[in-house]
Amino acid sequence: MSQPLSEEEKQQILNSPPKGTWALLLMVGIGMAVAWLFLYFGVFIPRGSVQ
């Protein structure tokens, strides 16, 4: 079994930036941008202007 965390280790974890959250946010943002570009250039532009 692992040792329980000390108070100093708990404070260090609580005060550290949320790196996983930022990574997930970045991946979702990039995915949405790619999806928007696909819709714009792959769907809307080929269909032409409104008639």
Q: Quote the number of domains for the chain.
A: 1
pLDDT in tens, 12-36: 999 999 999 999 999 999 999 999 9
* Domain carrying residue 26: 18-46
pLDDT at residue 2, as a whole number? 80
User: How far lies 5's CA from each of 1, 14, 15, 33, in Å?
Assistant: 12, 12, 15, 40
Amino acid (one-letter) located at 51: Q
What's the chain's average pLDDT? 93
pLDDT at 10 over 80: yes
For residues 45 and 18, give the distance between their C-alpha atoms in angstroms, rounded to a whole number: 39
Q: Indicate whether 37 belongs to any domain.
A: yes
pTM (2 d.p.) = 0.67
Q: Indicate whether 39 belongs to any domain.
A: yes
pLDDT at 1 over 80: no
